[in-house]
């Protein structure tokens, strides 16, 4: 028994390429989770990226709802990791319980999306994402996939397809299936409005704001005239059609680990009048990394 071993990592040897399976690159899937949806877990299991290269990280609030989600998550993890087929098992799983309370008690969609709730809610989400990121990012992580707990349907090749573009930050288009009462059939609509290209109007609005104020997207009282990726979807269009983005959402977001290692995080404060994931895109940009989006590549959000 000598002194404790020194662990050495050569970050140069951690490849981040557009053929990550071939190069056996490690992926960290990070999910902030207020509620557990079986659809999320089932979809996760179906991802065809080799599970032995995937580490999962979760952060759950210490609320009644968070406790319930934790219990269900724990049950599914045991089922998969202990009793499931070898190929389903992930390399490792980390679960964090949040050390601060959510700013708004109710998580119902209407309450969540009220404009006056946005700043405290998005700030809390940003802190949750940062806690998760800074405690789980490892020296051998190549990619970080941010995947919200209510994203219940993606192509099984999600990771490979996004990585194929070899972009520092890339996101698919997040839609939602719902029952269209008028057409009397199932239909779908855009869900994530945080993927956008900036506009002169938004720039002008930002210039007139006080330092702590933030711009929000998707609110009529704050028309920004940004170009939203949500509306760039074209039926039958090439799924690999790529557009540059200035703001991103977090529903499904693939990030080269180097971007986070350089220091890009989720500002829980007004950063260029942007917060959380949108602020992250801006911070990545200031570090020289440009975000991209795939308007025709769809993933689906749960419909509450």
Nearer to ligand GDP, 40 or 297 (CB): 40
Distance from C-alpha of 185 to C-alpha of 271, rounded to nearest angstrom: 43
Within 132-191, the residues that bind ligand GDP by CB under 6 A are 148-150
Nearer to ligand GDP, 105 or 237 (CB): 105
| Contact pattern for ligand GDP over residues 250 through 289, marking x by CB under 6 A | ----------------------------------------
Nearer to ligand GDP, 61 or 155 (CB): 61
Among 17, 21, 35, 164, binds ligand GDP (CB under 6 A): 35
Instruction: Name the segment binding ligand GDP (CB under 6 A); options: 10-18, 54-62, 87-95, 238-246.
Output: 54-62
Among 33, 159, 248, 253, binds ligand GDP (CB under 6 A): 33
Distance from C-alpha of 269 to C-alpha of 275, rounded to nearest angstrom: 6
Dig out the tokens for 251 from the structure. 């529903």
Does 150 sit near Mn ion (CB under 5 A)?
yes
Is the CA virtual torsion 90, 149, 248, 180 positive or negative? positive
Nearer to ligand GDP, 32 or 155 (CB): 32
Output the CA angle 229-233-235, nearest 5 degrees: 180
Distance from C-alpha of 247 to C-alpha of 291, rounded to nearest angstrom: 8
Q: How many CB atoms lie within 10 A of CB 140?
A: 13
| Contact pattern for ligand GDP over residues 95 through 114, marking x by CB under 6 A | ---x---x---------x--
Least gap, CB of 55 to ligand GDP (angstroms): 18
Does 59 sit near ligand GDP (CB under 6 A)?
yes
DSSP assignment letter at 247: B
Sequence-distant contacts of 99-102: CB under 8 A, at least 24 apart: 99/62, 99/131, 100/124, 100/127, 101/61, 101/62, 101/63, 102/34, 102/61, 102/63
Instruction: Name the segment binding ligand GDP (CB under 6 A); options: 70-78, 124-132, 205-213, 234-242.
Output: 124-132
Among 32, 155, 268, 295, binds ligand GDP (CB under 6 A): 32
Does 30 sit near ligand GDP (CB under 6 A)?
no
Least gap, CB of 159 to ligand GDP (angstroms): 18
Distance from C-alpha of 114 to C-alpha of 193, rounded to nearest angstrom: 15
Q: How many CB atoms lie within 10 A of CB 15?
A: 12
Residues that bind Mn ion (CB under 5 A): 150
């Amino acid at each position: 028994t000598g002194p404790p071993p020194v662990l050495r990592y050569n970050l140069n040897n951690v490849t981040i390429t557009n053929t990550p399976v071939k190069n056996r690159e490690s992926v960290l899937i990070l999910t902030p989770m207020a509620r557990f949806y079986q659809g999320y877990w089932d979809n996760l299991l179906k991802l065809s990226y080799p599970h032995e290269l995937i580490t999962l990280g979760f952060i759950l609030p210490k609320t009644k709802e968070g406790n319930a989600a934790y219990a269900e998550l724990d049950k599914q993890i045991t089922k998969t990791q202990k009793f499931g087929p070898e190929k389903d098992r992930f390399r490792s799983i980390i679960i964090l319980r949040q050390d601060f309370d959510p700013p708004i008690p109710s998580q119902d969609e209407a309450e969540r999306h009220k404009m006056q709730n946005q700043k405290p809610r998005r700030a809390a989400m940003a802190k949750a994402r940062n806690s998760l990121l800074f405690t789980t990012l490892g020296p051998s992580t190549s990619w970080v996939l941010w995947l919200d707990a209510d994203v219940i349907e993606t192509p099984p090749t999600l990771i490979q397809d996004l990585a194929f573009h070899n972009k520092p930050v890339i996101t698919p288009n997040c839609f939602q299936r719902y029952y269209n009462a008028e057409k009397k059939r199932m239909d779908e609509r855009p869900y994530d409005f945080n993927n956008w290209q900036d506009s002169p109007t938004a720039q002008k609005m930002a210039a007139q704001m006080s330092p702590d104020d933030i711009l929000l997207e998707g609110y009529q009282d704050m028309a920004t005239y940004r170009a939203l990726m949500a509306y760039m979807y074209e039926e039958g269009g090439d799924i690999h059609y790529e557009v540059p983005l200035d703001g991103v959402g977090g529903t499904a977001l693939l990030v080269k680990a180097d971007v986070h290692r350089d220091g890009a995080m989720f500002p829980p404060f007004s950063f260029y009048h942007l917060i959380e994931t949108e602020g992250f895109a801006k911070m990545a940009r200031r570090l020289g990394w440009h975000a991209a989006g795939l308007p025709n590549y769809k993933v689906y959000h749960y419909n509450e």
